[in-house]
Structure 1
Amino acid sequence: MAFDVLEPGLSTTAQDQGRIGYYKFGLPQGGSMDQYSATLANRLVGNTVSDAVLECTYIGPKLVSTTNAVIAVTGAPVDVFVNGQLIPQYERIELLAGDELKFGVIQGGTKYFIAVHGGIDVPEVLGSRSTYPIGAIGGVDGRALVAGDVVPVGVGSDNGLPVVTSIAVDDRPVFSKDVKVRVMLGLYDHNLSAKGLDSLLNSEWMLTPVADRMGLRYSGPGVEWKDREQPFGAGQDPSNIVDAGYAVGSIQIPGGTQPIILHRDAVSGGGYAMVATVISADMDLVARCAPGTKTRFVAVNMEEALAARQENNARAARIWS
């Protein structure tokens, strides 16, 4: 079983839950940018939560199924066509051998996901099938799809769960143009002046088109840093520090102008101060934002962050029961 790639789309890659345990060596976790949407697709087709899917960015691919297959498309709203006929997202769809799958214009967000029963069966690299293009590993030859590729699909098996034919509307992700992103302050928020911290947390920031799997850049009023003598090796700009490790979700503000949220394919360290970190429960929310999304950063404490994570886990457990 496989998909023949007639057109690759803008950037279509195989992704799963990511390459865990190698960030300390400089290799990012990667995986689907919007993990929740990807797992919904896997639930619909009867896969496990860890099976690989295709992640599509803005412009989707045109694929032909070489055999009968069960698929689902979730994530950002987009028109989905099988042999020219419009089919719904968030539903279990059966393809016949020779059926053509293609996509229309995306209507919100940036990324949507194609799951197929059996999973995308590219080789595992360091425990994951996720594509990391900068390192040229995982996926199909470590890169996005190109025309002429053949994307292998694994042999499907029973995951032991009841068949789900559609995802309830209340369980589908929302793609808003105005969001609140919860963050925990630190490690270097103390380098911001009171005015700078107020600007970070009480101003509106807008996502720019400079956004990819590594990070998302925002425009806004900027922030003010405290006047201080820079330590040796930190450079002259107050937003610089002596090199340190970055947490996934870290927010940097180079030069004090445009915040950058580090995402799934982020580098693991460098010389910019991390003033806050997006909580894990809101990383999918950030991934769903399209350029122009109005964003406010809301500071929470550890207890609130853990409660949000537990809420997400409870929702996932209900869907996967």
Structure 2
Amino acid sequence: MSIEVLTPGLSTTVQDQGRFGYYNVGLPQGGSLDAYSSQAANMLVANTVDEAVLECAYMGSNLSFDAESVIAVTGAEVSITINGESAPMWETLTVPSGGTVEFGMMTQGARFYIAVHGGIDVPVVLGSRSTYPLGRLGGFDGRKLEAGDVLPVGPATADLNAVPQKSVPVEARPEFSKQQELRVLMGLYDFRLTDKGKRNLVEEEWSLTPVADRAGLRYKGPGVEWREREQPFGAGSDPSNIVDAGYSVGSIQIPGGTQPIILHRDAVSGGGYAMVGTVISADMDVVARATPGTVTRFVEVTMDEALAARKVYKEALASLWA
């Protein structure tokens, strides 16, 4: 079976859990930015965790299905209609042969996910079906979807009538708030900040700007202060410049000392800006749910607290599949 894209939305891409093992050569892991919502969608349609889904940013695609299908929609709050009839999120849904699924504007959150039983069956490239648009790699021709694209769907692993009708309990659904707290491990270069600069980062409020995509999200706020020093050979003139170093997913940079940028799953793997902190892995889904204007506080935590949060997050993922 296949799915035709009637309207593409703002930025809809094919994503799975990511492409691992190539970060050392500059290829980011990619994958669904909100991994929890993505996995929930796959669970609801009786897929494995590794099947590819559609990630829709800010505005969704309208789709036509050429055969009966089982789908689920999770993530940011959006209205859904199947052949003109309203349908719920976070539940297993059936689309009749020839059916059309349409979406309204998102009212909370930034990205929602569409899973279909069998998965989006684009070719596996370097171990993943995820789209990396900057490198024109993976997904559907390495790009966001366009009107007229026809997406292949993998073979059903069960009779569609036998796919269990499930829903994610309300208490297990994530929040999509206009106020966030993001837990941060300070370092590697936080020693470059003055005491006031660090206090501004972790004690003041920051607001997400419209400059936010799969590679990174830029915030505005009170700015920080950097300790004066003579820049070493090989570093640039910006006070936050360093001689090049590797970046981790979640790294926080503050070019010019004013606007922090959180690097997300499609970010480059290294460069010449100091990483003053890193958003912990358990909160990267939270980052992905933010919309422009979201008021954000960075909360410093210890390594032990970060590891404990990662354990809780992994348990929440596991409970989806229980």
How many residues are paired up?
A: 319
8 Å CA contact 2:182–2:298 kept in 1: the answer is: yes
Matching residue of 1:124: 124
8 Å CA contact 1:78–1:105 kept in 2: the answer is: yes
Letter in 2 for 1:46: A
Matching residue of 1:34: 34
Q: State the Cα distance separating 1:156 from its structure 2 match.
A: 2.1
Letter in 1 for 2:250: G
Letter in 1 for 2:26: G
1:229-252 per-position Cα deviation (integer Å, ceiling 9, x unaligned)? 111111222200001000110000
Q: Within 5 A, what are the aligned runs for 1:56-67?
A: 56-67=56-67
Is the partner of 1:107 in helix, strand or coil? strand
Q: State the Cα distance separating 1:164 from its structure 2 match.
A: 5.1
Is the partner of 2:308 in helix, strand or coil? helix
Letter in 2 for 1:110: A
Cα distance in 2 for residues equivalent to 1:310 and 1:274? 24
Matching residue of 2:300: 299
Cα distance in 2 for residues equivalent to 1:163 and 1:306? 34
Is the partner of 2:142 in helix, strand or coil? coil
Q: Against the structure 1 CA distance between its residues 162 and 184, is the aligned structure 2 distance closer, same or farther, given a 3 Å change threshold?
A: farther
Letter in 2 for 1:146: E
Cα distance in 1 for residues equivalent to 2:261 and 2:113? 25
Q: TM-score, normalised by structure 1?
A: 0.98
Letter in 2 for 1:109: G
Q: Within 5 A, what are the aligned runs for 1:95-244?
A: 95-157=95-157, 163=164, 165-244=166-245
Q: State the Cα distance separating 1:163 from its structure 2 match.
A: 3.3
Q: State the Cα distance separating 1:266 from its structure 2 match.
A: 0.3
Matching residue of 1:271: 272
Cα distance in 2 for residues equivalent to 1:312 and 1:274? 24
1:3-35 per-position Cα deviation (integer Å, ceiling 9, x unaligned)? 011111111110000001111110000000100
Cα distance in 1 for residues equivalent to 2:156 and 2:310? 31
Matching residue of 1:87: 87
Query: Any unmatched runs of 5+ in structure 1?
Result: none
Cα distance in 1 for residues equivalent to 2:23 and 2:317? 25
Q: State the Cα distance separating 1:131 from its structure 2 match.
A: 0.4
Cα distance in 2 for residues equivalent to 1:299 and 1:241? 23
CA RMSD of aligned residues (A): 1.1
8 Å CA contact 1:47–1:156 kept in 2: the answer is: no
Matching residue of 1:44: 44
1:203-227 per-position Cα deviation (integer Å, ceiling 9, x unaligned)? 1000000000000000000000001
Is the partner of 2:310 in helix, strand or coil? helix
Matching residue of 1:9: 9
1:145-185 per-position Cα deviation (integer Å, ceiling 9, x unaligned)? 11111011001225xx9935111001111100011000100
Q: State, as a whole percentage, how many aligned pairs show the same letter.
A: 63
Cα distance in 2 for residues equivalent to 1:190 and 1:302? 17
Q: Within 5 A, what are the aligned runs for 1:17-28?
A: 17-28=17-28
The reply to whether residue 260 of structure 1 matches residue 267 of structure 2 is: no
Matching residue of 2:310: 309
Cα distance in 1 for residues equivalent to 2:187 and 2:102? 44
Query: Any unmatched runs of 5+ in structure 2?
Result: none
8 Å CA contact 2:45–2:163 kept in 1: the answer is: no
Cα distance in 2 for residues equivalent to 1:98 and 1:58? 26
Q: Against the structure 1 CA distance between its residues 162 and 9, is the aligned structure 2 distance closer, same or farther, given a 3 Å change threshold?
A: closer
Is the partner of 2:197 in helix, strand or coil? helix
- Which portions of structure 1, spanning 4 or more consecutive aligned residues, are displaced by more than 6 angstroms? none
Q: State the Cα distance separating 1:316 from its structure 2 match.
A: 1.5
Is the partner of 2:134 in helix, strand or coil? coil
1:28-70 per-position Cα deviation (integer Å, ceiling 9, x unaligned)? 0000010000000000000011110000011111110010000
1:48-96 per-position Cα deviation (integer Å, ceiling 9, x unaligned)? 1111000001111111001000000000000011111110000100111
